[in-house]
Amino acid sequence: MRTVSAAAIAARGIRSYGRIAQTRRKIGGGGGWGMVVVREYASSSSGRKTEGGEESGRTPSAYETRLSPSLMQRFLFKKATHSIAELYRDATIAASVASSSSSEPPKVVLHGWIDGAPRKMSKKLTFARLRGVQFDVDADEQNTIQLVQFRSGKEEVERDGEVLARMKQETPVCVEGTVSQHQGTNRYEVKIISITALNHPHDLASQVREAKEWDPKDRYLQLRTPQLQRALAIRSKAAKIVRDQFISLDGFTEVETPLLFRSTPEGAREFLVPSRANERKFYALPQSPQQYKQLLMAGGVHRYFQIAKCFRDEDLRADRQPEFTQVDLEMGFAGAEDVIDVVERCVARLWGEVRGAELQVPFPRMTYLEAMTRYGIDKPDVRGGMEIIDLSEFATATVHKDYPVFEILIYRPLPTSSPLPDPSPPPIYPTLRTPYVFQLDSPASVTTWLMQCQQKFNLELTSGDLTTTARAIAEKYDLRAGDVVYACTRQSMPFENPTPLGRERLQILRETGVLDNESFAPLWVVEFPLFTPLEKAEVVDGHIEFDYDSLTATHHPFTMPALDSLPQVMSAIESGEQVDPRTVLGQHYDLVLNGVEVGGGSTRIHDSLLQRLIMAHILRIPHVEPDPHAAQPRNPFTHLLTALSMGCPPHAGLALGFDRVCAMLAGSESIRDVIAFPKTHTGADPLVGSPSEVTDAALDVYHLRRKR
């Protein structure tokens, strides 16, 4: 037990921590501050007076077993009779407040925190605000109430934990009182009969609450703010609606899939988990329940559903978390239409009940090609108009054979618009493939503009004549002086995604403030190319080169080709030549909302042989033996391929990014706002100190050691 001088204690402001009365006395005997603390717990005295006897510094061995009533009160407090919102819903209270008769008003007991510093009006009268416990997501302005304490000064003993004026911000309290009208408002106030502090907060608690910037270490303090209280309540409500919709209404079964999974070669980097019992082997945390949910389909689970944790050890750019949550589902004896139907009804219900926004069901659909053509991106924000215009009827670009389509974007600034942003360089490409920007000052300048384009993009004009073409374009699209024209090229089936004009469009819409948080435009993007050619390392004249012979699955290898595309697929398999990815579409569907991909899924390949053929011949995944009767070497898909061959029914599914959905419902830009304890951009949680150091001995257990 350390001995600490009273002066030292006083210097540290120990008084602020509790009711240590004896700061000016010299502490005698052993025990130091420990004994002082025991006095804190043992004495029934207040912060200012002490009961007789302790002044004389008696020795610890005469320690009394009588414990301080105010300590006990921290553990023995009355149950609340109401939350604040419930007060307003209580008709008896309302009647009593309204009547202002002299009869005894009903007593209530409330729990909550002292919200803001109490305001001492006089020796006897103090006001404070109580922040209640039950955050009502539908009535958040009702979560505080005014407290009034009138003390005659003749109270028998003044205990700090009962004097409102001396309570600190963020003190959790139990209040018993009566309800009356808060004069001059339509709100209630509580006249305190008794109030008890249930804990004594450190000064830092209130200082941090006032801060503008939040340190991750103070996350639990930040959780007390209305914004985060609301965000957590919205998330809980959203999860409830989703479950209710799928499980109660649509006959889904909730099934948990394992998180101790295995390493697979596709997609992002995974988190590894060394195994103690299986020497030198590792689990991996799954990026999604994809494979297990298909095994559930093979297992006869008719409709599977789960709100699942997923993990991805990637760079955490652009509002990503290493650990995130998906609403995950799969349907047996089903296809795309079945999944699309249940999902859009669920999403519409979510937006209706949580956000009060009505989304028309069924959602509109757009093909990938259409999205790339009109909006330049596979997750278009269709609000704000300003679609991209394909000028193929007038000209073809020949500067690069893979990018023949000549297209433009017309921006018509309002007289009041701020100056335009410069065309932003694409962030990734070393050589800039930016649109050619030209502001028309007169109709005639269209010809000048077209001439520039002709040079820049090596255009072949359909009509052969520059002026005619220019005039035709100007007339068709009603070009006027002041219009800003962005011109660029793209592929016929664009794999460059977004296209330069697509990127431009989004930037203009954002900077001109057209896109808000109040309107919602959902749509399904369908008919994606099933396969995506690999991007070559070299960039030619700013153009990305694609290797049309090396293909990856656009979404994942388990996506079924469109039935219309099956002939091409079979033909390629048979002939041994690679399929042309520009001609093969897949049964994938993405759900896009305001330009954000909130979810996606596909009809799966439930035929084991077709799955193997595609993996082996088109995707050229190693170790996949296409011959169904040859022994299958162990590859990461063996279990799935085998399960498909054991009478697995047709199935389709989807996953929604639940963090993203909740952020949109809460009107937040960042998913950090809807996660209780998010990680930083380096994947750390400074609050709990994760990740942390681990001893060499701990690593020994796994036969691992650190490299020097």
Q: Which of residues 636-655 bind its own copies (CB under 8 A)?
A: 636, 638-639, 643-650
Angle, vertex CA 135, rays to CA 134 and CA 137, nearest 5: 140
DSSP string, 207-229: HHHH-SS--GGGHHHHTTSHHHH
x/- track of binding to its own copies for residues 560-599 (CB under 8 A): x--x--xx--xx-xxxx-----------------------
By CB under 8 A, what part of segment 98-157 binds its own copies?
111, 113, 131, 133-135
Burial of 32 (0-12, 13-18, 19+ CB in 10 A): middle
Binding its own copies by CB under 8 A: which of 268, 272, 361, 481?
A: 272
Burial of 381 (0-12, 13-18, 19+ CB in 10 A): buried
Residue 519 interacts with its own copies (CB under 8 A): yes or no = no
- Beta carbon of residue 273, minimum distance to its own copies (angstroms, whole number): 5
Per-residue 3-state assignment (H helix, E strand, C coil) for 555-574: CCCCECECHHHHHHHHHHHH
By CB under 8 A, what part of segment 174-213 binds its own copies?
174, 198-202, 204-205, 208
Closest to 487 measured CA to CA, from 533, 444, 455, 530 = 455
Residue 627 interacts with its own copies (CB under 8 A): yes or no = yes
Q: Which residues contact 507 (CB under 8 A, 6 or more apart)?
A: 421, 424
The encoded tokens of residue 693 equal: 């150091």
- Please, which residue, 14 or 598, has the CB nearer to its own copies? 14
Distance CA 452, CA 438 (A): 9
By CB under 8 A, what part of segment 18-37 binds its own copies?
18, 30-31, 33-35, 37
How many CB atoms sit inside 10 A of residue 56's CB? 8
* Residue found under tokens 């000549």: 406
- Beta carbon of residue 473, minimum distance to its own copies (angstroms, whole number): 40
x/- track of binding to its own copies for residues 444-483 (CB under 8 A): ----------------------------------------
Binding its own copies by CB under 8 A: which of 94, 125, 241, 259?
A: 259
Residue 47 interacts with its own copies (CB under 8 A): yes or no = no
Residue 295 interacts with its own copies (CB under 8 A): yes or no = yes
- Beta carbon of residue 396, minimum distance to its own copies (angstroms, whole number): 30
Q: How far is CA 68 from the centre of its chain?
A: 46
Q: Report yes or no: 205 and 221 within 8 Å, Cβ to Cβ.
A: yes
Q: Report yes or no: 411 and 483 within 8 Å, Cβ to Cβ.
A: yes
Q: Report yes or no: 470 and 447 within 8 Å, Cβ to Cβ.
A: yes
Residue 4 interacts with its own copies (CB under 8 A): yes or no = yes
Closest to 433 measured CA to CA, from 395, 488, 389, 485 = 488
- Beta carbon of residue 450, minimum distance to its own copies (angstroms, whole number): 42
Q: Report yes or no: 134 and 85 within 8 Å, Cβ to Cβ.
A: yes
Binding its own copies by CB under 8 A: which of 6, 108, 190, 285?
A: 285
Q: Report yes or no: 562 and 530 within 8 Å, Cβ to Cβ.
A: yes
Binding its own copies by CB under 8 A: which of 271, 406, 411, 528?
A: 271
Binding its own copies by CB under 8 A: which of 99, 100, 181, 253?
A: 253
Range in contact with its own copies (rule: CB under 8 A) among 117-125, 156-164, 314-322, 403-411:
314-322
- Please, which residue, 440 or 665, has the CB nearer to its own copies? 665
- Beta carbon of residue 9, minimum distance to its own copies (angstroms, whole number): 8
Residue 229 interacts with its own copies (CB under 8 A): yes or no = yes
Binding its own copies by CB under 8 A: which of 117, 157, 481, 698?
A: 698
Residue 442 interacts with its own copies (CB under 8 A): yes or no = no
Binding its own copies by CB under 8 A: which of 49, 269, 536, 620?
A: 269
Cα distances (angstroms) measured from residue 519 to each of 38, 350, 351, 516: 60, 15, 11, 7
Binding its own copies by CB under 8 A: which of 419, 537, 693, 697?
A: 693
